[in-house]
Amino acid sequence: MKHTICCWLLCWVLPVMAQTDTVQVVITGDIMLGGLPEQAMRRGKDPFAGFAQVFQGADIRMGNLECVISDQGEAEPDKPNVFRVHPRAMRFVRRHFDAVGLANNHSGDYGPVAFADMLKRLKQDGVGVYGGGSDLQQAHEPWVIERKGVRVAVLGYNEFQPRSFEADHDKPGIAWSEDEQVLRDITRVRSQGLADVLIAVMHWGWEDPLANQRQRQLARLMIDAGVDAVIGGHPHLVQDTEIYQGKPVFYSLGNFVFEGFDNPINNTGWVVKLRVNKQGVVDWSVQEAFIDAQGLPQTVKPRGWKP
């Protein structure tokens, strides 16, 4: 049963589960802090201020960090778009996020030296990571956090080139999406009882409002293996949503912090709020993010917004 979602705030409720404490998990779309957002940070402006209250009401806050936070490294010579921001951005990231996803096609824009520096800074500031690590094994480790007695694990994977950003046995980098490895990672989390709730975060798909067959096939595969929710990004717009085996699949949340787009479809993203307990996802809702002229998200349409 497929659900394509068009309204501003939605809620879908699963059948009543055992009564336990519930945990609210907030997940944003793609966060690119370069360009105008970085200029705003230089002036002391918090790029996430428009969603501060949304984050404050959550138990767990996550987002896809689609840029390198470092002052080290050299830009990839043949890559048309490379994103790096000064480490001053870390004070805003740690203020609002418990963990960030690194499995995307920009985390390696300034090479493994900058990637390793970013990992170090995130760790020092107490921000967890998923989909990336100091070597191949760590890149495939789940990020696990416990809130109110509920353990939530997150795995992250990238499917978009360049594959050279992938971690290796002796090189920091991201987790690449290969079905066999993805299933091994999911099976390990479940067989070892590492978490009550398992979320997979994917960087995949093309710039189209509908998810492609590859996305649908892999989402089903992961849910059949034990994932409770699938969250996607990369297409720079919101894609359709599906419920499979009673589990939600958000194929793309679109952009969250990102400048450089003229089309409103690229400047409207989703922030997903999952309410979970020990049995899985209880319900969910969606908050739209309207990106202003500075590339910063707002909960209401900015002045001059063109639909």
Average pLDDT on 93-105 reads 98
Percent pLDDT > 90 in the chain is 90
Higher pLDDT, 257 or 1: 257
- Separation CA 76–CA 234 (nearest Å): 19
Instruction: Tell me if 204 sits within 8 A of 175, measured CB to CB.
Output: no
Please give the domain boundaries of the chain with CATH numbers for all domains. 2-8+24-292 (3.60.21.10)
- Separation CA 156–CA 21 (nearest Å): 26
- Separation CA 90–CA 278 (nearest Å): 32
Average pLDDT on 111-136 reads 98
Q: What is the pLDDT of residues 204-220, one digit of tens each?
A: 999 999 999 999 999 99
Q: What is the pLDDT of residue 302?
A: 80
DSSP line for 115-131 = HHHHHHHHHHTT-EEES
Q: What is the pLDDT of residues 21-48, one digit of tens each?
A: 899 999 999 999 999 999 999 999 999 9
Q: Which distant-in-sequence residues (6+ apart) come within 8 Å of 95 by Cβ? A: 46, 48
Per-residue pLDDT at 11 exceeds 50:
no
Angle at 30 between CA 200 and CA 62, to 5 degrees: 50
- Separation CA 290–CA 302 (nearest Å): 7
Q: What is the pLDDT of residue 80?
A: 87
Residue 307 burial (10 A CB sphere; 0-12, 13-18, 19+): exposed
Q: What is the pLDDT of residue 228?
A: 98
Q: What is the pLDDT of residue 9?
A: 41
| Closest-CA residue to 98 (of 47, 34, 55) | 55
Per-residue pLDDT at 191 exceeds 80:
yes
Q: What is the pLDDT of residues 38-82, one digit of tens each?
A: 999 999 999 999 999 999 999 999 999 999 999 999 999 989 899
Per-residue pLDDT at 304 exceeds 80:
no
Could you give the 3-state DSSP secondary structure of residue 61? strand
- DSSP count for the chain of H helices, then E strands: 7, 20
- pTM exceeds 0.85: yes
Q: What is the pLDDT of residue 130?
A: 98
Instruction: Tell me if 254 sits within 8 A of 270, measured CB to CB.
Output: yes
